[in-house]
A and B are shown apart, each in its own frame.
Chain A
Amino acid sequence: MRDRTWGFLIAVCALVGGLGGCGEDDPEPDGDADADSDADADGDGDGDGDADGDGDSDCDPGPACEPADDDYRPREGDPDDEPYADCVADDGDYHPFNPESISTIARVAAFETIADLLWRGGTPTIDDFTNALTEYSTAEGLESRLSRREDVHYPPVEIDGEEVQCRDLTPDQQAENAERCVGPALIQPILNDAFDAGIAGEDPEVNAARIEAALVWFLYVSSHKELSTCVGSQGDCDSGWAYFTGGHQRDETQLGLAAYVQALEAETFDRAFDGVLAVDCWDDLDPPAGDPPARSNLELRDLAISQLDRALLRGVALIVIARLEALSTAEGTERAAWAFLEVLGPVLDREATARDGAAAGRLAAAWAAGPDAIDVEATTCDLETVFHCP
């Protein structure tokens, strides 16, 4: 079974044009190529694989997905205990380090408040935008963190050989390092402009959609960043968990990014939550020790982060796919859907390029094509294929 699985995986990798894009942490399709040739894109096991739901898709994103052997799988009781030994997260819950002081929960709650004001309640008014701006910009609120958010997928900025944090850079320097300095250089300008336009009464639904997409982008980057940096600050683990779920356990009502993902594909949400628990497990297994305190098993941490990010990326891709569907089927909201896609679609370019250069090129072209020229079906298929497994 395993031999067949690997054989199929290699074949798929070759077909999609990039062995380098299939890292060792990628999930394992279940290997039964015959049985699963009609891919189960939504991962729910029903094998429908029809992203746009119209039943006539020609897209074949690949076989159904299975967790990788080295993934942390608490829902299965982590069967082989490798590489994760028994740990606190085996009970399926995230275990906050400082449960009474997770300020991120308030920021995700603010996201929900903004959502109610701007994109869940019909066409937002100027007052809605003003109230949303108040919520967004309050001290210690979303903007306070967004304005310094770095995307740790990219290397730190160096000036004269010294690592420099984005917050200490000038706006021009941040712009020169926009990928790393994603918050101040890329996301914040979008939000500034969208709030400004919304308050001025311009295109309320379009600007609400831009705000939504920018904040979802921020939640994704922040979940990944905080869980990556809790090596030195255990509170960051709590923040990462809260940026994803709003501070909730798996069986509770989710907020923020997790709510989006769960609504679109339950398995992807569960896999992302598994990733959060993988970090929790690593932290339990590799506590700070020595003087100065340090971790000794960063390989395991990297494995956990990789598992998490794979699922998060699948989740973001699902959000984009859903909005592509809205672009093609909903009437009267196309411009808003496109505004959303313009912001969140390119967020996937980095990973798409790493996994499949050709598909990444097509995706980039799609985001540049505009709402009338974009091939929704092909773009959806590329997303389903590149971000097939959580």
Chain B
Amino acid sequence: MRLRLSVLLVSAAWCHAEPVRAEPAPDESCDHYVAREEREFLAEHPGATPAELERYLAGERRECVVEGTTDSGRAEDYETTTRSGAATSEAVPQSSTRVERRDIEERMPRSSPDALRYEPGVYVQQTAQSQGSAYIRGVTGQQTVMLFDGIRLNNSLYRQGPNQYFFTVDSHSVASIDVTRGSGSVLYGSDALGGVIEAHPIEPALAEGLHGLRLSPRTTLRAGTADDEIGGRFELDGQIGDRLGFIGGVGYRDVGLLESGGQIHDSVSKVYSGGERELVPRYAADGRTQLGTGFREATEDARLVYRLGEDTRAVLAIYDYRQFDAPRTDKCPPPFAPAGECLTYEEQFRALGYLALDTDLGRFARGARVGLSLQRQRERRRMDRPASIVDPQYGRDTVLTPGLTLRARTSPFRLWKRASAAIAYGIDAYRDDVSSVAWYEVHTERNDMLVYDSRGQYVEGSSYTWGGAFANLETTMWERLHARAGVRGTRIVAFSPEEPGSETSEIDRGWTSFVGGGGLAWDALPGLTITVNLDQGFRAPNLDDLTSRQQAGPGFQFENPDLVPERSVTLESGVELQRGPLRLAAWGYRMTIDDAMARRVATPEDCPKESQDCRGSWFAYQLMNLEGTAEVVGFEGLAWTRLPLGFSARATVAYARGDGPNPASRPEGSATDWEERVPLSRVPPLNGTVELLWRAPAVGVYLGAGLRWAAKQDRLAPQDEGDARIPLGGTPGYAVLDLRAGYRLGRRLGLALVAENLGDAAYRTHGSSVNGPGRSLMLSAELGL
């Protein structure tokens, strides 16, 4: 037993036993080990397909991590172009990449969405500094699915367009994030039209043969100059005996006003016909610091893993995220409003707890997982209007979501002599119970009162229940041809009670949807795979679509109880090459969406009679199912290569072009500016990244440079024209260069420095309220035992 005393952590670490290392050499890192395994595998199996290689390495990587040699759990310089992650078929790849823990540590993203900004086909929009929404193939929010350790995060209050909820996944609790582009509705049901994001949590290092107690504390401190961020996390990784492992942590950060590289302006001048208009955000006197930014954040998580047997473990975990006093930048102040007015998310909380059993139940249920989960999402919004006696106004929405998931796959079985197959299958069920209330307060010398609105953003007592089952057959034929075919059935029921005071009608609707999908992958040459996938997707209208009344970015949105599900078909094809130090992937796709839900401009007469804030808004919107087919076509590409002398380079590029039927009816007469098809809202522009890295693993040092760029986006939807976040004429293009440097000494010490936006560019990602940070530094220091 060794006793170590940390000067920074007022705690002791008892290491009763060194972790048992099975395969890696005693001093070999997991990264080195997996890289070595890759080389050896390819030498032994020169005809191996990328999928076979990946399957092999995934197992090695898991084993390496479980044995606790490092926390990285990834191959040296391994940059995935294909994954067999949970979101995709193991036989037929989809366009997928993974962000690893080390990427997160080196790039130092400000949030989990921000961690995805170097992924091809992913573009991160920010309505506030405290929010972030990943666009995948031109869609986001409700049209993508977010998972945490296989548990669905999407709930029925996710609103149209970007939302902030992936920001509530603490990036410190994440080991990796998989991004799968393309439809995932067969596996994950409603919403998975554009893609799936799955965060994998950090795991305790559970070593076999350990007796007694092992504790490994770690503290990370982080600071940034652009927003005066200061924060940190204390984490404890431990084990009791050889069966029980645990890891948990608490974190906090305080983020100030964000200084940008400058202001973004309209690129065209015109006499605006839609009423007054003003771009957000508003700036401080220096013209760079953005009002309506900053927030505080507290996190806590705990994960217990109990090994029940060789192939069985139980996981009990809780992840609690609490964000405080986070202004919504485009409403702080709203356009034209007095400077003191501000909409603040006083509380943006999300808690997830679950109990999962990972086991192997024989040939019909390999790798099975049964999970029971409970999530609670809570928002409390405060509108400050200091000049009014109605100050503040509040809204509070809470959704409680119990869930059940079961997933497994069969052992491979022979179809015929040269064909084998396996079936992945599962069921899932979730229910949202919603509480929603709004009120205002008057506090004067004469009065001290609170007045409730008849309803909140949603209707108190609403619920949303859904359950589904899927099966996905995967086959390999003649060794080089892989196929998959899957089907899912889902039943969704939405209920919202009548609320007479606001003239809200009862909703009691249900939808049953069946979707299917399949694909073929051909290993044309060693390391070269050509894939074609055809997948259906669907998204049933959720409670936000059906019942919400809210001030959204472009205007006031009110309910449409008559919406029907939107259904998509995605045809994609990709070529992936993995040979030696070179990996290339290129995918093209076309996604068509029937009955796509989009905002149409509504007249004040369309507004609910009791909704004065709807009728009083410059722009009122109502979701509608478009008559006709919307489509997004595009491509994404990734190239990675390992260069001599420890260098590696990586580049990505992505483009999406979306359009659909004009939500507005053709006006009477000979309107000249009405078009039958118009761009879809806030589809990202052509964008990409370039990274050059140098690592010296022997001494633990790395240096790197990253360039993020985007072209101008001037394809605007009608609703974008009135959106105060989008300059007239479109969002300008940009190029932002970051430099990185760091040093790591195993678990004991890690230092990371990012010099961000060296050119001090004034930029924003399309559709954002907030501009990116100006020239600034971020520093992270990690100390552990």
Which residues in A have some Cβ–Cβ distance to B below 8 Å? 97-98, 100-103, 105-107, 109-110, 130, 133-135, 137-141, 143-144, 147-148, 167-169, 171, 184, 188, 192, 195-197, 199-200, 202, 231-236, 238-239, 288, 291-293
List the A side residues contacting B387 at CB < 8 Å.
Answer: 147, 171, 184, 188, 192
Interchain CA distance A110-B388 in the complex, whole Å: 17
The reply to whether A141 and B612 contact each other, CB–CB distance below 8 Å, is yes
Q: Please, which residue of chain A has its CB at the minimum distance from the CB of B615? A: A106
The reply to whether A195 and B613 contact each other, CB–CB distance below 8 Å, is no
How near does chain B come to A274, taking the closest CB pair, in angstroms?
24
29 chain-A/chain-B pairs, Cβ below 8 angstroms: A97-B273, A98-B273, A101-B603, A101-B619, A103-B615, A103-B618, A105-B615, A130-B451, A133-B390, A134-B440, A134-B453, A138-B612, A138-B616, A139-B383, A139-B613, A140-B612, A141-B616, A147-B341, A167-B336, A167-B337, A169-B339, A196-B444, A232-B272, A233-B276, A233-B277, A234-B273, A235-B272, A292-B269, A293-B270
List the B side residues contacting A196 at CB < 8 Å.
Answer: 389, 442, 444, 446-447
How near does chain B come to A78, taking the closest CB pair, in angstroms?
25
The reply to whether B336 and A148 contact each other, CB–CB distance below 8 Å, is yes
Interface contacts beyond A101-B619, A196-B447: sample of 15 additional A-B pairs, CB < 8 Å, sorted by A: A101-B274, A101-B275, A103-B615, A103-B617, A106-B614, A133-B390, A133-B442, A133-B451, A134-B451, A139-B551, A143-B390, A147-B385, A196-B389, A235-B275, A236-B276
How near does chain B come to A122, taking the closest CB pair, in angstroms?
23
The reply to whether A288 and B270 contact each other, CB–CB distance below 8 Å, is yes
The reply to whether B337 and A144 contact each other, CB–CB distance below 8 Å, is yes
The reply to whether A192 and B617 contact each other, CB–CB distance below 8 Å, is no
Interchain CA distance A114-B616 in the complex, whole Å: 15
The reply to whether B449 and A199 contact each other, CB–CB distance below 8 Å, is yes
Interchain CA distance A356-B307 in the complex, whole Å: 94
B287 close to A (CB within 8 Å) = no
Considering the complex, which residues of chain B in the window 248-278 have a beta carbon less than 8 Å from any beta carbon of chain A?
269-277
The reply to whether B447 and A105 contact each other, CB–CB distance below 8 Å, is no
How near does chain B come to A112, taking the closest CB pair, in angstroms?
12
List the A side residues contacting B453 at CB < 8 Å.
Answer: 134
The reply to whether B271 and A233 contact each other, CB–CB distance below 8 Å, is yes
Digitize B265-304: 1 where CB-to-A-CB distance is under 8 Å, 0 elsewhere. Answer: 0000111111111000000000000000000000000000
B620 close to A (CB within 8 Å) = yes
The reply to whether A291 and B446 contact each other, CB–CB distance below 8 Å, is no
How near does chain B come to A151, taking the closest CB pair, in angstroms?
16
Digitize B369-392: 1 where CB-to-A-CB distance is under 8 Å, 0 elsewhere. Answer: 000000000000001010111100
Contact of B269 (CB < 8 Å), options: A144, A202, A291? A291
Contact of A200 (CB < 8 Å), options: B273, B446, B619? B446
Chain A contact residues, majority secondary structure = helix
List the A side residues contacting B390 at CB < 8 Å.
Answer: 133, 137, 143
Digitize B448-461: 1 where CB-to-A-CB distance is under 8 Å, 0 elsewhere. Answer: 01010100000000
Interchain CA distance A101-B616 in the complex, whole Å: 9
List the B side residues contacting A102 at CB < 8 Å.
Answer: 604
The reply to whether A137 and B556 contact each other, CB–CB distance below 8 Å, is no
B500 close to A (CB within 8 Å) = no
Chain B contact residues, majority secondary structure = loop
B59 close to A (CB within 8 Å) = no
List the B side residues contacting A110 at CB < 8 Å.
Answer: 612, 616
Interchain CA distance A196-B616 in the complex, whole Å: 23
The reply to whether A103 and B612 contact each other, CB–CB distance below 8 Å, is no
List the B side residues contacting A147 at CB < 8 Å.
Answer: 337-338, 341, 385, 387-388
Given A235-B272, A235-B275, decide whether A143 and B388 contact each other with a Cβ distance below 8 A: yes
The reply to whether B274 and A107 contact each other, CB–CB distance below 8 Å, is no
Interchain CA distance A147-B337 in the complex, whole Å: 8
**How many residues of chain B get a CB closer than 8 Å to chain A's CBs?**
45
Q: Please, which residue of chain A has its CB at the minimum distance from the CB of B616? A: A140
How near does chain B come to A204, taking the closest CB pair, in angstroms?
13
Interchain CA distance A104-B139 in the complex, whole Å: 34
Contact of A232 (CB < 8 Å), options: B271, B612, B613, B614? B271
Interchain CA distance A140-B276 in the complex, whole Å: 13
List the A side residues contacting B451 at CB < 8 Å.
Answer: 130, 133-134
B601 close to A (CB within 8 Å) = yes
Contact of A167 (CB < 8 Å), options: B339, B440, B446, B601? B339
Given A106-B615, A167-B336, decide whether A199 and B442 contact each other with a Cβ distance below 8 A: yes
The reply to whether B442 and A98 contact each other, CB–CB distance below 8 Å, is no
Considering the complex, which residues of chain B in the window 372-422 have a beta carbon less than 8 Å from any beta carbon of chain A?
383, 385, 387-390, 393
How near does chain A come to B374, taking the closest CB pair, in angstroms?
34
The reply to whether B618 and A148 contact each other, CB–CB distance below 8 Å, is no
Digitize B650-667: 1 where CB-to-A-CB distance is under 8 Å, 0 elsewhere. Answer: 000000000000000000
What are the 4 A-B residue pairs with the smallest beta carbon separation, nearest first?
A292-B269, A235-B275, A106-B615, A140-B616
How near does chain A come to B778, taking the closest CB pair, in angstroms?
31
How near does chain B come to A272, taking the closest CB pair, in angstroms?
22
The reply to whether A235 and B276 contact each other, CB–CB distance below 8 Å, is yes
Contact of B615 (CB < 8 Å), options: A109, A195, A234? A109
List the B side residues contacting A137 at CB < 8 Å.
Answer: 385, 388-390, 393, 440
Given A137-B440, A167-B337, A232-B271, decide whether A107 and B449 contact each other with a Cβ distance below 8 A: no
How near does chain A come to B330, taking the closest CB pair, in angstroms?
14
Given A130-B451, A141-B616, A167-B336, decide whether A236 and B601 contact each other with a Cβ distance below 8 A: no
Digitize B540-557: 1 where CB-to-A-CB distance is under 8 Å, 0 elsewhere. Answer: 000000000001000010
Q: Please, which residue of chain B has its CB at the minimum distance from the CB of A105? A: B604
The reply to whether A98 and B274 contact each other, CB–CB distance below 8 Å, is yes
